[in-house]
Each structure stands twice: as C-alpha cells, then as structure tokens.
Amino acid sequence: MNRRDALRLFSLAAGTATVPFLRPSFEYLDLQIDDEGILNQIERLRSEPPATSAVRIERGGPRFFVNGKEEYPLFAGSSGLTDAIKGFRESGIRFFHPLLSLENGWISPGTYDWNPVDRYFAKLLSIVPDAFFLPRLHLYAPTWWKDAHPDELVQYGLPVDKTQYKMGPMKIDSGFDWNCVFDAYHPSLASDVWKKEMGEVLRDFLRHMEQSPLRSRMIGYHIVGAMTAEWHYIGSRYLPDYSAPMQRVVGPVPTAEARMRTTGGLLRDPEKERNVMEFYRKYHENTANTVVQFARVVKEETKRRIVCGTFFAYVMENVCIQEAGYLMPERVLACKDLDYLASPYTYQHSNVPGNPRWESDVIDDAGNWLGRARGVGGDGGYRVLLESLRRHNKLFISEIDPTTYLEPEKTTEGGSGFSTVEGTLRILGRDLAQVFANGGGGWLFEFGHLPTFRANKGWYDDPPMIKEIRRWAELGQQSRSKLDIQSVAEIAAVYDVKSFIATQHWKAEEPWRGYGISITDFFNHWLVNSQARTFHRIGAPMDFLYRSDLTRQDLLRYKLLFMPNLFHLTADEAQALRGLLRGSGATVVWYYAPGYVTPERLSQTQMEELTGFAFRRMDEPGPMMIECKIAEPELKFFKSYGVKKEHFPRFAVISGDASVHALGRWSDRNETAFAWKQHDGYTSFYAGTGPLPVEILRWLAVKAGARLWSSRPDNIRATRGAVMIVASDRGERVLRLPEPMAPADGGAASREHRLEMDFGDVKVFVSRH
C-alpha cells in the first residue's frame, strides 16, 4: 500500500492528516478546449486503425508489443498529466497512464456520459499528438448508488473513524475523487449487485471507446478498485466485512476478537481456530475472483485486441495483511485475461531512532544495518515475486514514484537524499536501471502536492531529470529487443502467502514500536519486508517466487534457497517439497516454524521431517533474538541479530546429535536457535527468527557454492543480457560476471570489472548482442 502516503490518510502513523495533493476541480470536467478543438483532435485519428497490444513470452521472458512491434514498456502518469505530459514526452516517453474515474460518467441507473473523457484525451493529444494511452480505470460507485443500496455496503467489526466514512470530495486533475479510494462508505466486494452494475458501467465505457477514433491510441486498460485503488479491502483497519453479501460467500464471519487474537501466540491453532482460517481463505478468494471478473469484461469488449492489467499479488510490505493482503493470488496469477501486474516498489520507512519518516535506513533490534529501501543507495526492491510473475506469463510494471528536488514537501516517496539534484538523479537512475536490468516495465508516476506542482511543472520536469530519463528510455528502446531477459539467479527466496491466514494478526503488534511503519505484523515486517533489505544486498542476483512455483528443474540451478514463511502447509505440500529437495545438493534456510501448521492441527512432526532437525517447543515468551557464534574460515560472526520483543512459541534445536552444527542460541537461554546439518541429500539450515544480517547471507552463498557477483554487499539485478549494480558503500569493488558484458555507457566487454564507486552510484552492463 501507500498511494501517496496512505498511512497518513488512515491516521495510522502520525495522526489524522489532510492529504496534501488535492486540486480545486476535476480537470477533465473543466478543460478549456472548445467543441471544434475536440472534434479536430479526435477526428484526425479516424483514418488510423485500432491499436493492438500484447504481452508475449519470447527470448527469456514477457515482452510488450504495440501494433505488432516490440516496444520498451516505459510509461508515465501523473495527477496533473495535462501539466506534465509535455515534459514526459521530452524525456522520450510516448506511452501515458492517465487516471479516470468511471463514477463520474455513471449519471444514474443505466445512464452514462463519457463526453468529458473525450475532452480530456483531446486535451492530452493537443499537447502530445503522438501519444498512446493505457488508462487506469477506477471502479467505484457514486454516492447516489451507495445511498440507494445500503444492504450492499461493507460492514465493519470495529468502529470506523468518522473522518474516513462518507468523506468529502478531493478532486484532483486526473479526473476522479481521490477520497473514493479511502472512503469506508463502499460497496462490499462480495456484492453481486455492485459487481453486475459496475460491470455494465465498464462495458458501456469500453464500447464508447471502441466506437471512438480514440481506439487507435488505446493500448490497454488498468482496472483498479477498493482501498488505495490496489484491491486492498476497503476499510481494512476496521476489520471488514460483516455485510450480508460477504456472509453469503464465506458463511458466518468470525467476531473481531476472534480475528485479532490467536490462541497460540504467533500462530493459530487449527483445532481451535479453523473457522477463522477458513473465513480468511474464502474472503481472499472473493477478492481475486472480483478482479478476474472485471478483467474478463475488458477482454470481451476489446476482443482481446489490447492488454489488460491491475495492481495485485504484493507480498512485501502488504499492510493489514490479514484484511488487505493478497493471500489467495492463484486465480489472478493464472488469469489469461490479465497480461501484466503492477506495483509501486518498496516504501519501507526508517526505524532508526531519531530518523525522520522519509528516510529509509532499516536496522534490527541488535543494531545491524539491514539496508536502505528508498532513496540514494537504497535497493528500490520490488514488492511482488518477480520470478513467479514471469512463470505465469505476466509482465511486471514497477510504479516509479519518488519525489524529487522540485517537490517542496518532505515525503516518504522520495527516500533518503532526494532533495538534491545529484540525489534525485541517482534515485531515478537506480529505478530506471532496475527496470532495464530486470527485464520488466515501469511507469513514472507523480502524485503531487498542494500546490500540485511548483511553477506548473511535474516532479520530473526539469532538464537534468529529462536528460536522465531519456537516457534510460533510449537504452531500453534500442537494446531490450536484442537482449535475453531470462533469470540467471543461483539464489532464491520462496514464500507462501497463505501462511498469513495461520499467523498472528497485524493488530497484535500495535503500537508497532521500532517498526518505522504501522499496521503490519511480526512476520511480514521482520521475516519478509526487513529481510528483503539484506536479500537485496547479498551481492548477487536473487529470484523471488511462490512455493507453488518451485519445480524440480529449479534445483538444478538454485544453489541456495531461503524459506522465510512456509509455516502453513498441507501434508501433500510438505511431502512434495521434501521430494523436490531430496538429493538436490542445495542449501536450504528454513525460518521459524516451517510446515508446523497444517489445516487440521499443529504438527511438530511435519516440521521435523521437513527440516531434518528435532525441536523443543518453548511456550514461555522470550525475545526473538539470537546470539551467534560463527567461527568459520569464511566468516567470524560473534554478534546478535533479531528482535527484542518477546513472543511465543519459539523452537529450540535439540543438538545432542553430532550431525547438528550449532551457530547461535536464544539470547535469554542456552538453547540452540540457529544450526545446520546434512539432511536428505541437501544442507538444511534452521533459523529461529530473522532477519538474517547480510554478513551471514553472503557466507551462506559461499558455503552453498553460489556466485557472489560483487566483492561487496551491493545491490545486484540481472538477467542473461544485462546487470545493474548499486553501490552500498564507497570504495573499489570487483564485479565478476558469468559472461562478458560491457558498460552500457561505453567500454570493453569483460567478465571482470574493477569499479571505484561512491555510495548510491549506479552502473549497468550489457551483453554484446
């Protein structure tokens, strides 16, 4: 989440605040363009054929085609696109992502008016005549509809903040009421009435566009809804949804108390809480089904001629995860009506005492620097599992939305160092280089503040930034089609999001001391989000994927696998995982309680069979902190890592067996919490908590035989055809590549490059095609 610092909107981190980026009116309802001008802009398109677009899997991954030609998938959007579009075009971008609200054209039952939308596109085309559009379509019901259908609206388990219910309009220049994405006065996502009628609105809009000459410039549609327009369930803070439509889908909804409290500390006990776990399963399946239903409408009405996508499937930094997460993503991932998925990249805030919120450095409670999320030198990590999206034939589009030196207000979107020209250019260089090196797509997106843009200029509308963006746009357009974008990672992190159905509720961590961010839970914050900071600094490319996408073929390539949250497994899933790993020779790092929760009961036996260790369960609350004693040739590590807050249950490795090699103990007792052994033909590590520091990660990579590409703990992104390095400190490093590559800005191709870099410097290398 974080559609323009959404946490402040919810009063979850710093009290209730007015969103600082409103504009006085809907721009496209108040454009200064006469009828003749509209006709001229649209009529000149009449001789053009309808646009076509597609995502095709070729040369290692998903590629974007427009009118039969592969194009570099770099777009731009803005809350003031009429002000910003000219600067974006000067930056080398001609694909644009305008925001549209269909509720504006939904006049009354069965009555629609899309003429204001025509005026809006005519205005944009008058500024950039060669523009193509992939609009974001907001699927929200107007107030008159909600007033007429009270039984179809979301009902909550906790009192709703009055300021978040029936919110007044906040009209921005992109054509929709921004408050609709936060207003808890909202249809239930289980309402068949709303889905039917909203589908009819969407069909009418699409038919209008299909009959318009504008169809020659429409290259796709991005369908969005619910909280923050990302399909997070609306009003997640207040525990939705007790409405009659939802209860028809899921059955009786458990009480708020049952949802917020677990009987077993950090884990739910299926024998006592199966009804809660089953509720969440059906609840999240309903959200996925809703998204798929609207995607089908887009494909039907456009005759599958152009692409359709949405925001979905975030794993990292999914706040309010039991309510707002994507815990049943399978139908969306498998949906052939969705060609791409999009997400903003990391928004993780600093938890360093004394740091302001817009800083991005993250530490654990032992003081280990885990990394930096946004800002200069940050990893800019993606919140989706990119390798899984590739395997489901989905292009990924990264929303690139950092504030810049043109923005007068300090915000969490910028991250550390964004307020200078040099800092902004390093941040944008990192974001755009990552899109290039990862083989995906991206869109620059300006949210804006009040005044929306300084001197009527967008965040990225200044000569130094225009030059930087154009450099990456031209490199992508010239090179992407010639490069192999297949993954080359030997290291992977494997996740199972349904485990959050079986873990402690996010509200149990309230007031989230030491987190730097609110409304998140222990596992998502420390073992997923914060662990990602060190994963990105391991100094080698890494893949991120769902457990269900892991195959036996992967074990021929991946030498090191991390399993941060595989707590909830069926017997068949655990058995299949054991079969994949057996005899692979890989190194596997299990966290906390792998396979401990089954659908029927808690099973220490399954956990022990999966990992090869014998465990003692400890029910006395204690700090999730491990004191390490690692004295290996490659690593001397005699420090602690982890979290001071006390939790239960914890697990201790029974280490009487000589085959068990102890590496660390729980900080409050002499019980082994970190160990390794040979098991079932592979090397099994057990870590009782996270996040593991980067020194340990790099040691594990060496021990597993995985190549470290950088001699320092730098951020590396790579495919077979390109690699990006972002320096995490100042000094010389050696970049060792599996194949010769040359600097993208000129130079000789080589397997080895000695680089003198400053903190935050970005360099890209490409294969000679």
**H or E stretch at 223:** strand 220-224
**Residue 398 structural domain:** 6-346+381-482
In a domain, 267, yes or no: yes
Asked whether residue 25 carries a pLDDT value surpassing 60, the answer given is no
Measured at the CA of 726, the angle between CA 725 and CA 731, to 5 degrees, comes to: 100
Asked whether residue 177 carries a pLDDT value surpassing 90, the answer given is no
Per-residue pLDDT at 28: 42
**Same domain, yes or no, for 628 and 568?**
yes
Asked whether residue 696 carries a pLDDT value surpassing 50, the answer given is yes
Per-residue pLDDT at 511: 87
**Same domain, yes or no, for 240 and 260?**
yes
Which SS3 state, helix, strand or coil, does residue 374 take? Answer: coil
Q: State which of 661, 688, 704 marks the end of a domain.
A: 704
Q: Parallel, antiparallel, or unpaired: how do β-strands 69-71 and 441-446 relate?
A: unpaired
Nearest to 745 by CA among 366, 339, 472, 348: 472
**Same domain, yes or no, for 590 and 446?**
no
Mean pLDDT of the chain: 93
**Same domain, yes or no, for 461 and 519?**
no
Q: How far apart are CA 74 and CA 203, in angstroms?
A: 27
Q: 196: buried, middle or exposed (CB in 10 Å: 19+, 13-18, 0-12)?
A: exposed
In the chain, the percentage of residues whose pLDDT exceeds 90 is 85
Per-residue pLDDT at 655: 84
The model's pTM is 0.94
For 363, 640, 661, 689, the CA distances from 665, given in Å and listed in that order, are: 20, 9, 12, 11
- Residue 449 has a CB neighbour count (10 Å cut-off) of 20
**Same domain, yes or no, for 456 and 567?**
no
Phi, psi of 561 (to 5 degrees): -125, 130
Least confident of 184-193, 401-410, 738-747: 401-410
Per-residue pLDDT at 518: 76
Q: State which of 449, 465, 482 marks the end of a domain.
A: 482
CATH number where 621 lies: 3.40.50.880
Q: Parallel, antiparallel, or unpaired: how do β-strands 74-78 and 615-618 relate?
A: unpaired
Asked whether residue 436 carries a pLDDT value surpassing 80, the answer given is yes
Asked whether residue 220 carries a pLDDT value surpassing 60, the answer given is yes
**Same domain, yes or no, for 13 and 85?**
yes
Per-residue pLDDT at 519: 87
**Same domain, yes or no, for 390 and 499?**
no
Q: What is the CA radius of gyration of the chain?
A: 25
Asked whether residue 324 carries a pLDDT value surpassing 50, the answer given is yes
Q: State which of 450, 482, 514 marks the end of a domain.
A: 482
Phi, psi of 179 (to 5 degrees): -65, -20
Per-residue pLDDT at 65: 99
**Same domain, yes or no, for 473 and 496?**
no
Asked whether residue 255 carries a pLDDT value surpassing 50, the answer given is yes
- Say which residues have a Cβ less than 8 Å from residue 510's Cβ, sequence separation at least 6: none
In a domain, 617, yes or no: yes
Residues 384-422: b if buried by 16+ CB within 10 A, e if exposed: bbbbbbbbbbbbbbbbbbbbbbbbeeebbbbbbbbbeee
Q: How confident is the model at residue 516 (pLDDT cuts 50, 70, 90)?
A: confident
Task: Please give the structure tokens belonging to residue 9.
Answer: 């909107």
Asked whether residue 176 carries a pLDDT value surpassing 80, the answer given is no
pLDDT in tens, 538-587: 999 999 999 999 999 999 999 999 999 999 999 999 999 999 999 999 99
For 240, 247, 275, 276, the CA distances from 257, given in Å and listed in that order, are: 13, 18, 13, 11
CATH number where 439 lies: 3.20.20.80
Per-residue 3-state assignment (H helix, E strand, C coil) for 688-746: CCCCCCHHHHHHHHHHHCCCCCECCCCEEEEECCEEEEECCCCEEEEEEEEEEEEECCC
Q: How far apart are CA 332 and CA 391, in angstroms?
A: 13
**Same domain, yes or no, for 478 and 495?**
no
pLDDT in tens, 42-99: 989 999 999 999 999 999 999 999 999 999 999 999 988 988 999 999 999 999 999 9
pLDDT in tens, 481-511: 999 999 999 999 999 999 999 999 999 998 8
Q: Parallel, antiparallel, or unpaired: how do β-strands 395-400 and 340-344 relate?
A: parallel
**Same domain, yes or no, for 446 and 586?**
no
Strand runs (DSSP E) across 369-425, as ranges? 369-372, 395-400
Asked whether residue 1 carries a pLDDT value surpassing 70, the answer given is no
Overall domain count for the chain: 2
In a domain, 358, yes or no: no
pLDDT in tens, 714-724: 999 999 999 99
In a domain, 369, yes or no: no
**Same domain, yes or no, for 544 and 428?**
no
DSSP letter string, 291-336: HHHHHHHHHHHTTT-SEEEEE----TT-SSHHHHS-S--HHHHH-T
Per-residue pLDDT at 27: 41
Asked whether residue 357 carries a pLDDT value surpassing 50, the answer given is yes
Q: How far apart are CA 236 and CA 157, in angstroms?
A: 10
Asked whether residue 6 carries a pLDDT value surpassing 80, the answer given is no
Asked whether residue 684 carries a pLDDT value surpassing 70, the answer given is yes
Per-residue pLDDT at 32: 53
Measured at the CA of 740, the angle between CA 734 and CA 746, to 5 degrees, comes to: 80
Nearest to 448 by CA among 223, 756, 171, 125: 171
Q: How confident is the model at residue 356 (pLDDT cuts 50, 70, 90)?
A: confident
**Same domain, yes or no, for 108 and 38?**
yes
Per-residue pLDDT at 515: 82
In a domain, 360, yes or no: no
Q: Decide: 399 and 431 in contact? Cβ < 8 Å.
A: no
Q: How confident is the model at residue 8 (pLDDT cuts 50, 70, 90)?
A: very low
pLDDT in tens, 589-611: 999 999 999 999 999 999 999 99
Q: How far apart are CA 233 and CA 250, in angstroms?
A: 15
Nearest to 704 by CA among 731, 725, 676, 724: 676
Asked whether residue 7 carries a pLDDT value surpassing 70, the answer given is no
Overall average pLDDT of the 185-210 stretch: 99
Q: 478: buried, middle or exposed (CB in 10 Å: 19+, 13-18, 0-12)?
A: exposed
In a domain, 711, yes or no: no
